[in-house]
Copies of this chain bind each other. A is one copy, B any other.
Amino acid sequence: MKTIDEYRIEIETAIRNLKLPEGKLDNLYNPIRYALSAGGKRIRPVLTLMAADAFGQKAPEAVMPAVGLETFHNFTLLHDDVMDKSEMRRGRLTVHKKFNENTAILSGDTMLTLASQYVSQVPDNLLRVVIDAFNEMAINVYEGQQLDMDFEQQSQIALTDYIEMIQKKTGALLGTCTMIGALIGGASEKDAQKMYEFGLQTGVAFQIQDDWLDTFGDYTTFGKSIGGDINNGKKTYLYVAAFEQDSQTAKALREAYEIPAGDVRVKTVTRIYEKLGINEATKKAVNHYSSLALKALNSTSLDDEKKEVFRKLAEKLIGRKK
Contact = CB atoms under 8 A, between A and B. Distances in A.
Contact of A83 (B25, B27, B102): B102
Given A112-B112, A120-B135, A142 B83 contact: no
Contacts of A146: 25, 27-28, 106
A149 interface: yes
A108 to B, nearest CB: 8
Contact of A128 (B27, B109, B127, B135): B127
Nearest to A116: B135
Interface in A108-143: 108-110, 112-114, 116-117, 120, 124, 127-128, 131-132, 135, 138-139, 142-143
Contacts of A82: 105
Contacts of A117: 132, 135, 139
Contacts of A143: 21, 25, 28
Given A25-B147, A105-B79, A105-B105, A139 B124 contact: no
Contacts of A116: 116, 131, 135
Nearest to A145: B106
Interface residues of A, number: 35
A303 interface: no
A108 B109 CA distance: 9
A150 interface: yes
Contact of A110 (B109, B120, B142): B142
User: Could you say how many copies of this chain the assembly holds?
Assistant: 2
Interface in A1-60: 21, 24-25, 27-28
Interface string A90-110: 000000000000100110111
A131 B131 CA distance: 9
A105 B150 CA distance: 15
B149 A102 contact: yes
Contacts of A25: 143, 146-147
Contacts of A138: 109, 113
Contacts of A142: 28, 106, 109-110, 113
A94 to B, nearest CB: 14
Contacts of A105: 79, 82-83, 105
Nearest to A153: B27
Contacts of A108: 109
Contact of A139 (B113, B139, B147): B113
8 contacts: A21-B143, A106-B145, A106-B146, A113-B135, A113-B139, A116-B135, A117-B135, A120-B131
Given A83-B102, A109-B142, 20 more contacts: A27-B146, A28-B142, A79-B105, A79-B106, A82-B105, A83-B105, A106-B142, A106-B145, A106-B146, A109-B112, A110-B142, A113-B135, A113-B139, A116-B116, A116-B135, A117-B139, A120-B128, A120-B131, A120-B132, A127-B128
